[in-house]
Amino acid sequence: MNAVSDYKCGYVALVGRPNAGKSTLLNAWVGQKVAIVSPKPQTTRSNQLGVLTTDKWQVVFVDAPGMLRAKHALDRVLVASAQQALVEADVVLWVADVSRMPAAEDERLAELVRSRIGNRRLLLVLNKADHLRAHRVLPNTDAYRALAPEAEWMLVSALRGDNLDRVLARIVELLPVGPQLFPDEQITDKHLRVLAGELVREAALYSLHEEVPHGLAVVVEEYDESDPALVRIEAMVYVDNDRHKGIVIGQGGSMLKVIGSRARKEIEELVERQVFLGLRVKVRDGWRTDEREVARMGYGDARELRSGDGDF
Tell me which residues touch ligand GTP (CB under 6 A). 18-24, 37-39, 41-44, 65-66, 127-128, 130-131, 157-159
For residue 157, the cross-strand partners are: 162
The answer to whether the CB of 219 falls within 8 A of the CB of 262 is no
Q: Which residue stretch of 21-29, 94-102, 130-138, 175-183 sits at the interface with Mg ion (rule: CB under 5 A)? A: 21-29
CB of 184 to ligand GTP, least distance (A): 26
Cα angle vertex 23, ends 156, 197, to 5°? 160
What's 197-220 look like in SS3? HHHHHHHHHHHCCCCCHHHCEEEE
CA distance 292 to 48: 22
Q: How far apart are CA 92 and CA 42, in angstroms?
A: 20
Work out what residue 81 binds among Mg ion, ligand GTP, none; the CB cut-off runs from 5 to 8 Å by kind.
Answer: none
Choices 14-22, 92-100, 133-141, 190-198 (CB under 5 A): range interacting with Mg ion: 14-22
Q: Shortest Cβ contact with ligand GTP: which residue?
A: 66
Shortest distance, position 137 Cβ to ligand GTP, whole Å:
15
Tell me if 58 contacts Mg ion by CB under 5 A: no
Beta strands in 47-117 (DSSP E): 48-53, 57-63, 91-97
Among 19, 43, 83, 127, binds Mg ion (CB under 5 A): 43
Q: Which amino acid is at 76?
A: R
- By CB under 5 A, tell whether 53 contacts Mg ion: no
Shortest gap between Cβ of 130 and ligand GTP (angstroms)?
A: 5
Instruction: Please choose which of ligand GTP, Mg ion, none residue 130 contacts, taking the beta carbon within 5 to 8 angstroms, the exact cut-off set by kind.
Output: ligand GTP
Q: How far is the CB of 39 from ligand GTP (least distance, A)?
A: 4
Return phi, psi of residue 193, to 5°: -60, -45
Looking at residues 100 to 119 of the shown chain, list those that interact with Mg ion (rule: CB under 5 A). Answer: none
Radius of gyration (Cα) for the chain, nearest Å?
20
Is residue 23 part of the contact set for Mg ion (CB under 5 A)?
A: yes
